Amino acid sequence: MNHSFENEGLCAVPAIEYRNVYKRFDRTDGKSLRVRRGRKGEDKIKKQGENSFANAEASAGALKEESGFFAVNKLSAEIRDGELITILGSSGCGKTTLLKMTNRLYEPDGGSILLFGEDIQKQDPVQLRRKMGYVIQQAGLFPHMTVEDNISVIPRLLRWEPARCRDRVTELLALVGLEPEQYRNRYPSQLSGGQQQRIGLARALATKPRVMLLDEPFGAVDAITRLNLQNELLRIHRETGGTFLFVTHDIHEAFRLGNRVMIMNGGKLLQMDTPETIVRKPADPFVETLIRSAMDQERFWNSSITFARESDK
Ligand SMILES: Nc1ncnc2c1ncn2[C@@H]1O[C@H](COP(=O)(O)OP(=O)(O)O)[C@@H](O)[C@H]1O
Ligand SMILES: [Mg+2]
């Protein structure tokens, strides 16, 4: 069975390129920022909160209260065709915003995003999204549709023949590790959380998109199911050869899955490298702390196990 994506071999142009991308949102926590027009016509900015931004359109001569912050702050990165990139950062650091700008669910306020060398801003958002699979934490399945109908939503929209839809569902269920005949007629409520995530993954893979965006897809499943799903994802990535962008706040998951890891904090990209290099040469104090806390955890488990063995004697 050939699961490979629509591309013929790997492409030399980056699959995704972020160039100085930023996105700002209004603050809801009451912190604000003053923007004052200076003598030379430049905005003088008085920061009152971290991550604040200057409103470029602040009217001349006016003293203006602005409230807002960068959810993603001048981020630049290149993702090569066929990579499995993990995006790691704590809650609220801008991971989802970055992903949603990639498929134009959000529009950036500045910078550009290129998909295989083409500015996504110049592409029709619906067409763009068809080229990208998108998986979210709660799988987002339609509760009134069977597994088969959920998986074949896009193929049916694209008016594939019923037999072709059916064959693709069979292929996909096998690909995500579910017995096709046992599962195709079930409803989402008749599945476990882990199985629902598998269906969400299958649905996103249905039309063999070259790029997959995965936003904490395994965030809500238990540790053992999660480990299984991670292994399945690595296999699916190998078998399909697509470019995967996988968001997580779990350092173990990020370092286990990614051939490179993007570490974000406060909307900024702190480091993007292979797991080995990040561990060996953290580029930033925040990254260093992150690595050290993961190692401390590891030490805790190792010492607990030693302790348990000692007490067995
Ligand atoms: N639609 C929105 N309107 C206002 N603020 C938003 C919106 N979406 C996200 N944010 C804010 O932007 C920041 C980054 O959010 P998000 O990208 O969802 O973070 P993450 O996915 O890393 O947890 C957070 O402070 C969040 O509250
Ligand atoms: Mg998020």
pLDDT digits (tens, 9 = 90+) for 67-85: 689 999 999 999 999 999 9
- Between 219 and 163, whose confidence is greater? 163
Give the pTM.
0.83
pLDDT digits (tens, 9 = 90+) for 44-70: 444 433 333 333 333 332 333 456 899
Alpha carbon distance 73, 151 (integer Å)? 35
pLDDT confidence of residue 8: 53
pLDDT digits (tens, 9 = 90+) for 164-219: 999 999 999 998 889 999 999 999 999 998 899 999 999 999 988 999 999 999 98
Mean pLDDT value across the chain: 84
pLDDT confidence of residue 29: 57
Which of 90, 97, 270, when mutated, tests ligand 1's pocket best, judged by the most ligand atoms within 8 Å of its CB? 97
Alpha carbon distance 87, 94 (integer Å)? 10
Q: Which residue owns the Cα nearest ligand 1 atom 18?
A: 96
The amino acid occupying position 78 is E
Q: Which residue owns the Cα nearest ligand 1 atom 20?
A: 92
Distance in Å, CA 96 to ligand 2 centroid: 4
Distance in Å, CA 170 to ligand 2 centroid: 31
Question: Which tokens hold the place of 129?
Answer: 């999204």
Helix ranges (H only) for the chain are 95-102, 125-130, 147-151, 153-157, 162-175, 180-183, 193-205, 223-240, 251-257, 275-280, 285-312
User: What residues contact 274, with CB distance under 8 A and at least 6 apart?
Assistant: 259, 260, 261
- Specify the long-range contacts of residues 156-164, CB closer than 8 Å, at least 24 apart: 158/130, 158/207
